[in-house]
Amino acid sequence: MGSIENLVTQIQGLSGSIDDIAHLHNILKVADESLHAEPSALSSVLDQVDPAKHSLGYLYFLEAFTSGPVSKEQALTLIPILARFINCCDAQQIRFAPDKFVSVCKRFKDHVLLIESPLRGVSPMRAAVRKLQTTSEHLTTLHPDFLLLCLLSKSYNIGLSVLEDDIFDVDQPRDLFLYCYYGGMICIGQKRFRKALELLHNVVTAPMNAINAIAVEAYKKYILVSLIHYGQFSTSLPKYASSAAQRNLKNFCQPYIELATTYSSGKIAEFKIYVDTNREKYDNDKNLGLVKQVVSSMYKHNIQRLTQTYLTLSLQDIANTVQLGSPKEAEMHVLQMIQDGEIFATINQKDGMVRFLEDPEQYKTCQMIEHIDSSIQRIMTLSRKLNAMDELMSYDPLYLSKVGRERQRFDFDDFDTVPQKFPI
């Protein structure tokens, strides 16, 4: 206990400047093993250290104190302590020991799940993500945990705030898979289908040597969201998708591929029969709700197709063509689509006629110009990033060593100034 008291004194004295904190970190690393030897002795010590001012020291104590399995009752006690630390800790200090900070945050997530109260974890985990990130482009291992809590607590809006950041820097590939899959689900929950497709597409086309379960589930949702949003789906994957995905993904998603094929016929009655026949499979995957949205979307896309042929059409004709029960139902669908900006039309309730209009957008408003300008800026930033990444890759020893190993297989004419071997 004497050595812990000394450690507390050192933490209180060395939490000022960056140099002091770096020195403190070396001391804590040496003391870490002894802290883990008697974690129960640390409970009284935590009160002597300020989580905001002495964040690094507090982190080491807290990490040792919370190691090991806990019961529900213990979790209830620990959760406010962990939440308070995460919310008020100094980001600069905890970045000296990111692994420990991640451990503490993951335990916090496990505890809130243990007591079945994911909502309690949302705000602290968002704070944790922001503190661990070096920049907003950095995907940390805490991002998926944060999104998981948002999904479980149905806090989709809060999850969206993190998803707006463009990610360029990833710690672990698994984090990217999970981030994009969970993120896709959050966007589906908010009906941001285009953004959902972007994220799910990233999972499906990410590099993988073996077929990945996350990619399989992402592909199922990708098919459904593609049908909802675009009214169509193509089974061909882009060239840059991995060969593992190209060869195997469809085999794991057959009921969904067949659903898309049936959808493409445009026949609602047949489609509904197919859905009912395979209901259990979609239900087991927890995708039945999304499949029902696909069914609803068929009416919508069939109505949209009418706007390409007709200038005016009666509600009765719309109901007959789209296989709705009555003109009233057709009116409800058309009204909703007008409200959502999916079609441009007016309804004359006197004679029950719908007039389809052209898109009034002239692309010359200030708002549109700003939108185009920001898109251009974004593309230019992306282009610069790609060039920088390309250049970095050209210096990468791993890449160069593989290139060097392949040297002897080339034709004499292909020889150039690249050295023959790159020893690693």
Partner 1 sequence: MHPRVHLHKQLERGTGWTTVRERERAREKMRPTPMDYFAELEDQGTTVAMDVDDVDPLEIFGGEGVLSVDNKLADADFFNAFEDDFDDADIN
420 near partner 1, rule: CB under 8 A? no
Indicate which single residue of 29, 72, 84, 154 sits in contact with partner 1 (rule: CB under 8 A): 154
Indicate which single residue of 62, 132, 180, 185 sits in contact with partner 1 (rule: CB under 8 A): 185
Using the rule CB under 8 A, give the single segment among 188-196, 262-270, 273-281, 323-331 that binds partner 1: 188-196
Indicate which single residue of 155, 202, 212, 278 sits in contact with partner 1 (rule: CB under 8 A): 212
Can you tell me the distance from the alpha carbon of 407 to that of 415, in angstroms, rounded to the nearest whole number? Answer: 8
397 near partner 1, rule: CB under 8 A? no
Contacts to partner 1 from residues 239-268, by CB under 8 A: 239-240, 242-243, 252
Cα–chain center distance at 106: 17
Residues 6+ apart with CB under 8 A from 287: 220, 221, 224
CB-CB neighbours of 214 under 10 Å: 19
By CB under 8 A, the count of residues binding partner 1 is: 66
Indicate which single residue of 19, 411, 423, 424 sits in contact with partner 1 (rule: CB under 8 A): 411
Indicate which single residue of 46, 76, 211, 338 sits in contact with partner 1 (rule: CB under 8 A): 211
Nearer to partner 1, 361 or 399 (CB): 399
Helix (H) or strand (E) holding 202: helix 193-205
Nearer to partner 1, 154 or 421 (CB): 154
| Own/partner long-range contacts of 153-156 (Cβ < 8 Å, ≥24 apart) | 153/118, 153/119, 153/121, 153/122, 154/189, 155/119, 155/122, 156/186, 156/189, 156/190
Q: What b/e string do you get for 104-129 counting C-beta neighbours within 10 Å, with b at 16 or more? A: bbebbbebbbeeebbebbbbbbbbbb
Structure tokens at 295: 């069914």
Nearer to partner 1, 76 or 211 (CB): 211
Interaction site with partner 1 (CB under 8 A): 148, 151-152, 154, 173-174, 177-178, 185, 188-189, 194, 197-198, 201, 207-214, 216-217, 226, 230, 232-240, 242-243, 252, 283, 286-290, 292-293, 296, 372, 375-376, 379, 394, 398-399, 402-403, 406, 409-411, 413-414, 416-418
